[in-house]
Chain A
Amino acid sequence: MVKKILYARSPIKTLEKNLRGGFGPGHLGVFASRKGVGKTACLVQIALDRLFEDKPVIHVSYASRVDYIISWYEELFKKLASRENLKSEMEVHDRVVRNRVILNFRQEGMKTEQVLKSIEALLGPGNFAARTIIVDGFNFYLPCAEDLAQFKKFAVDRQLEFWFSCSLKGEDPLFDDQGLPFVLKDYLSSLDIIITLEHDNGRVRLNLVKDHDQISSKKLRLELDPQTLLLTRI
């Protein structure tokens, strides 16, 4: 029951409904923005959305600390629980923890092959039936067309969905006139969905700039509350 209510109200579902081709197994999505705008908050909320439905999630991160990642989950879980007036909070929390594995790769420049091998180890011998993989901190500024092709192939083969964050850096302009981040333009063939985050009068707006085959800057009816960092519909 609890789950159903959350499910119906979930802004993530709104997001998915807005995608022409939907989002699911075999797809790669990216949230792109400068540092500190709210990419990780978006990723963690996607993860929590799946976790609330008892669907296991693997959270891959590069060079960040595990306790730091866990605290993101804890914080957003608490806020979501209080916003949705969640009953049996402890029980849901237990399930969230049970269905989440954090894979942390400490070395920068860890080979994608190795990352996929570890995910494979968890899915196969580890018997961990995740369908959603969150990848935070992947460096798109290194040449990575081949890596993304590997991720894409893996996603299709294993029927997984991948959500990445892409931290934009350098001097403006970061986007072309269609709103696409320059850094991602070489990888469009592997990426199905690209969403950019943008500050707009004290709010953080989400723009859908690549929706499968279509490139168009479409403002989603979603924003990130700068206070709570929760996604909300507008």
Chain B
Amino acid sequence: MNGTLQRMRNIGISAHIDSGKTTLTERILYYCKKIHRIHEVKGKEGGGATMDYMELERERGITITSATTNVTWNDHSINIIDTPGHVDFTIEVERSLRVLDGAILVLCSVGGVQSQTLTVDKQLKRYNVPAIAFVNKLDRIGANPFKVKDQINDKLGRRAALLQVPVGLEDKFQGLVDLIRMKAYYFDGPNGELVREEEIPPELEDLAWQYREELLDAVSLFSDEVTEAILEDRVTEGMLLQAIRKGTISREFTPVLMGSAYRNKGVQLLLDAVVNYLPDPSEVENIALDLDQEEKPVILKADPTLPCVSYAFKLEEGPYGQLTYIRIYQGSLRKGDELYNTRSKQKFKVGRVVRMHADHMEDIEGAVAGDIAALFGVDCASGDTICSPGLNYAMTSIYVPEPVISLAIEASDKLSADRLAKALNRFTKEDPTFRVYIDPESKQTIIQGMGELHLDVYVERMKREYRVEVVTGRPQVAYREAITARADFDYTHKKQTGGAGQFGRVIGYIEPFDGQYEFVNEVKGGHIPREFIPSCDKGFQAMLKKGQLIGSPIIGLRVVLTDGQFHPVDSSDIAFQMAAQGAFKQAYKKAKPQILEPIMKVVVETPSEFSGNVFGSLNQRRGIIVSSIEDGSYSRIEAEVPLSEMFGYSTVLRSMTQGKAEFTMEFLKYSRLPASLAEQLMEEHRQKLEAGDKQ
């Protein structure tokens, strides 16, 4: 069993847009598939490599873009996991990075490290993913892999060294010199499938030895054996592989490979490197949180005999129903096993288990720790943790941030309405930060999310994947209300005129609180019978949904109930709920409530020449510029800006910087809305209420 684990890799391909990720992925699939099904590929190849990628995907019936694709290389099973290149969907990014054990960082040999590369690189670092770099497009004019290697060192702050040097560059790019074996490699055949080994061309000897020395220098840090061997001049291939592997897995070293995926050069050597240097699942430490012990971290062991812990990281709607992609971290699962979803607290039986290949799916009996598989017909959401019954672990904290923006949507015609419902159902399952509800007043469907772009993408997906044309309203910011002072209450709810009476009295105070809501019961001597305490709590909670300023939810409030009174006959659950509600109304205004607005952490990356404009644009938007870091010709500006001011910012930024700047934003905190704006909102709310009354 152990042998299997060591021959398993779960990798992602991370790249800047336009650096050739798609072509590279496609070539990887081609070369790997070729080993198994040479005829099939050749038979369908026909038109050749000039085909557009999307077309290619459609024609070949392969799913390069599926959540994972399993390929085999040199007797190793490699799961390629699709990683979103953007950073706006923190949850989605987190999920896909979470299941990677290693990554290929693709860079363009002309553009080198660009601002988006920094973002992608940061993601990898944040999730401790070991990486190897692939400098692509060596056939392009201006290609310079040496410069890119230096940038990886300087700009990304990685310790990187070349494992190869090119034989020729730009239109003269022919092949690669491997600095470990000290041999030259050429890629023959119509699709570069035949790898030919030759001696190093004499004119490249010096260059090769020079960079080999640099490589030895870098990796000697990870192996005493190599250090000694260098002195005695007896470095072997095996030693070097070991040392590079060790450095890569500990994330202290980044091997740099190169080639041109488009010209079919260098991809096979890259695959060798994936197998040689990226970790197998047992070499990566994974941690789960024990929900029974206040999310205490537990280290998981990639041991198939232990109870199962797995993570549903992606859902896909397939022709046969919902497909749930899972990564198994510990234990194993088999068809017919009973498993437990720790979020929904439901048990279910494992039905069909499949492995996804580029061109088909394969039914398997089960899967073991380290592997990635897909399950059919499991009712769950992505991000759920699935365990053997008896365990109650979560792979990520169950805390989900509250959405900060909402948008009213409507299907443009009746036909679309059904499909819209389907789409919304699916998206909410996939992404817990995406929510849907029907506004009881306007009867509109409201979607909520983490930012404008976040919702935009879902609207776009409705069109693309579900063919639903939707009409959207103006995005609305999710305001909150909070009190700023302590206020006492003493309220009696009394209705004792004929029939069954109602009586309840509550005394206490409300005060600001750091969390969302807390209810403290300090009633002594049974002045309020114990069974009615939850009724009071319920009554107060009902009032939190709509604040009295602008009807927004109230956060950061503690209710302390100190005393009260009851009536042996007339007191009831509903009477105390009513009393609590009355008390809340009484105290709320006195507690100096204010309106809070969501503040976003905005990061703009721009060529420094535009930083003045960017500063200006952020300032205009009530933003606080926290810092600006200048690195060469680029600036990275960090600011805190109210969400309500950020609508349409991407367009503004694009036109201001000739499309050269990018920005990301994420929710940071709630903070007080300036008085003048608060007035305006309250006035609007008043008018809305009055209009409602008239109707």
- Where the two chains meet, the residues of A that have a C-beta atom closer than 8 Å to any C-beta of B are 66, 69-70, 97-98, 101-107, 110, 114, 117-118, 120-122, 124-128
Contact = CB atoms under 8 A, between A and B. Distances in A.
B630 A126 contact: no
A114 B638 CA distance: 19
B628 A101 contact: yes
Interface stretch (B19-27, B134-142, B286-294, B613-621): B613-621
B190 interface: no
A98 to B, nearest CB: 5
A101 B626 contact: yes
B629 A106 contact: yes
B630 A125 contact: no
B417 interface: no
B303 to A, nearest CB: 39
Most chain A CB inside 10 Å of its own CB: which residue of B611, B626, B628, B631: B628
A207 B572 CA distance: 77
A66 B629 contact: yes
State the main secondary structure of chain A at its contact with B.
mixed
A102 B628 contact: yes
B624 A118 contact: no
A106 B627 contact: no
Nearest to A65: B629
Given A66-B638, A107-B632, A126 B612 contact: yes
B612 A103 contact: no
A118 B630 contact: yes
Contacts of B626: 66, 70, 97, 101-102
B470 interface: no
A119 to B, nearest CB: 10
B612 A124 contact: yes
Nearest to B613: A125
Contacts of A104: 627-630
A118 to B, nearest CB: 6
A114 B630 contact: yes
B630 A121 contact: no
Given A102-B627, A103-B630, 16 more contacts: A66-B626, A66-B638, A69-B627, A70-B626, A97-B626, A101-B628, A102-B626, A104-B627, A106-B631, A107-B630, A118-B630, A121-B615, A124-B612, A125-B613, A127-B615, A128-B625
B388 interface: no
Contacts of B630: 103-107, 110, 114, 118
Contacts of B14: none
B629 A126 contact: no
Contacts of B611: 118, 121
B117 interface: no
Contacts of A121: 611-612, 615
Interface of B: 608, 611-613, 615-616, 618-620, 624-632, 635, 638
A97 B671 CA distance: 14
A124 B613 CA distance: 9
A145 B638 CA distance: 32
Contacts of A70: 626-627
A103 B624 contact: no
B631 A107 contact: yes
Contacts of A98: 624
A66 B639 CA distance: 13
Given A66-B638, A127-B616, A128-B615, A122 B629 contact: no
Contacts of B616: 125-127
Nearest to B639: A101
Given A118-B608, A121-B611, A122-B612, A127 B619 contact: yes
Contacts of B627: 66, 69-70, 101-104
Nearest to A97: B624
A112 to B, nearest CB: 13
Contacts of A101: 625-628
A122 B625 contact: yes
A65 to B, nearest CB: 9
Contacts of B613: 125
A107 B626 CA distance: 19
Nearest to A105: B630
A3 to B, nearest CB: 20
Contacts of B629: 66, 104-106
Contacts of A124: 612
Most chain B CB inside 10 Å of its own CB: which residue of A66, A69, A70, A125: A125
A128 B637 CA distance: 14
B615 A122 contact: yes
Contacts of A110: 630
B396 to A, nearest CB: 24
B632 A128 contact: no
A105 B615 CA distance: 16
- Top 8 nearest A-B pairs (CB, nearest first) are A126-B615, A121-B612, A125-B612, A125-B616, A102-B627, A106-B631, A66-B627, A104-B629
B184 to A, nearest CB: 37
A214 to B, nearest CB: 37
B631 A118 contact: no
17 contacts: A69-B627, A98-B624, A101-B625, A101-B627, A101-B628, A102-B626, A104-B627, A105-B630, A107-B630, A118-B628, A118-B635, A120-B612, A121-B612, A122-B615, A126-B615, A126-B619, A127-B620
A218 B632 CA distance: 42
Contacts of B631: 106-107
Most chain B CB inside 10 Å of its own CB: which residue of A97, A105, A126: A126
Most chain B CB inside 10 Å of its own CB: which residue of A97, A106, A107: A106
Contacts of A105: 629-630
Contacts of A66: 626-627, 629, 638
A69 B620 CA distance: 26
Nearest to A98: B624
A167 to B, nearest CB: 21
A126 B608 contact: no
A107 B636 CA distance: 13
A103 B615 CA distance: 12
A32 to B, nearest CB: 25
A51 to B, nearest CB: 13
Nearest to A101: B625
B636 to A, nearest CB: 9
Contact of B608 (A69, A102, A114, A122): A114
A128 B627 CA distance: 13
Contacts of A118: 608, 611, 628, 630, 635
A52 B625 CA distance: 18
B341 to A, nearest CB: 38
Nearest to B634: A106
A53 to B, nearest CB: 18
A44 B631 CA distance: 24
Contact of A103 (B619, B620, B628, B632): B628
B628 A125 contact: no
Nearest to B155: A106
Nearest to B640: A97
Most chain B CB inside 10 Å of its own CB: which residue of A102, A103, A117, A121: A121
A172 B631 CA distance: 35
Contacts of A102: 626-628
B205 to A, nearest CB: 35
A154 B612 CA distance: 17
